[in-house]
Amino acid sequence: MVTLLFKSLMQNLSRKLVHILSGLLFVGFWPIFSTSTEARYFASLVPLVNCLRLVIHGFSLATDEGLIQSVTREGKPEELLRGPLYYVLVLILCALVFWRESPVGVISLAMMCGGDGVADIMGRRFGDLKIPYNQQKSWAGSISMFVVGFVISIG
């Protein structure tokens, strides 16, 4: 029982670390790309490859237990086709549409990666006081999402 609880905690922590760090590292590498107009397309290749990985493993066309265990809640391959897939699609969209010209992309990814990732951690830990219009979300999670996302976006 304790082993199962520890495994579940480690899996959730692993997923959140991947959630927070993947996108932020992706954006962190944007400055090293050249100023050419094609740079954003080269940058988008990385999330695109991961998008294909998620689709292939989400439909169980191939099996990658490491991927499934690191980014899913219950270890089901089909979970890859929801949150993780939307996540990489947003990375592609922000790179192609906003890139380094507009702060919208960086701010969006700061909120999605840093903010939403920390909201889960803080909300589960300190989220007793729920927000009025959504009993699944707490003030602790929502405030931490805003603060962390804001700090990362201006960082």
Ligand X SMILES: C/C(=C\COP(=O)(O)O)CCC[C@H](C)CCC[C@H](C)CCCC(C)C
> Where along the sequence are the contacts to ligand CDP (CB under 6 A)?
83, 116, 119-120, 123-124, 127, 136-138, 141-142, 145
- State the number of binding residues for ligand X (CB under 6 A): 16
145 contact, one of ligand CDP, ligand X, none, CB 5-8 Å limit per kind: ligand CDP
**CA 110 to centroid of chain Cα atoms:** 10
- 3-state helix/strand/coil string of 22-69: HHHHHHHCHHHCCCCCCHHHHHHHHHHHHHHHHHHHHCCCCCCHHHHH
123 binds ligand X (CB under 6 A): no
99 binds ligand X (CB under 6 A): no
Pick between residue 50 and residue 140 the one whose CB is nearest to ligand X: 50
3-state secondary structure of 124: helix
User: The tokens of 125 are what?
Assistant: 């830990």
Alpha-carbon Rg for the chain, nearest whole angstrom, is 17
Angle at 120 between CA 119 and CA 126, to 5 degrees: 80
Length of the chain: 155
Pick between residue 22 and residue 142 the one whose CB is nearest to ligand CDP: 142
18 contact, one of ligand CDP, ligand X, none, CB 5-8 Å limit per kind: ligand X
6 contact, one of ligand X, ligand CDP, none, CB 5-8 Å limit per kind: none
Which residue has its beta carbon closest to ligand X? 83
Binding-site ranges for ligand X (CB under 6 A): 15, 18-19, 22, 25-26, 29, 46-47, 50, 71, 83-84, 87-88, 91
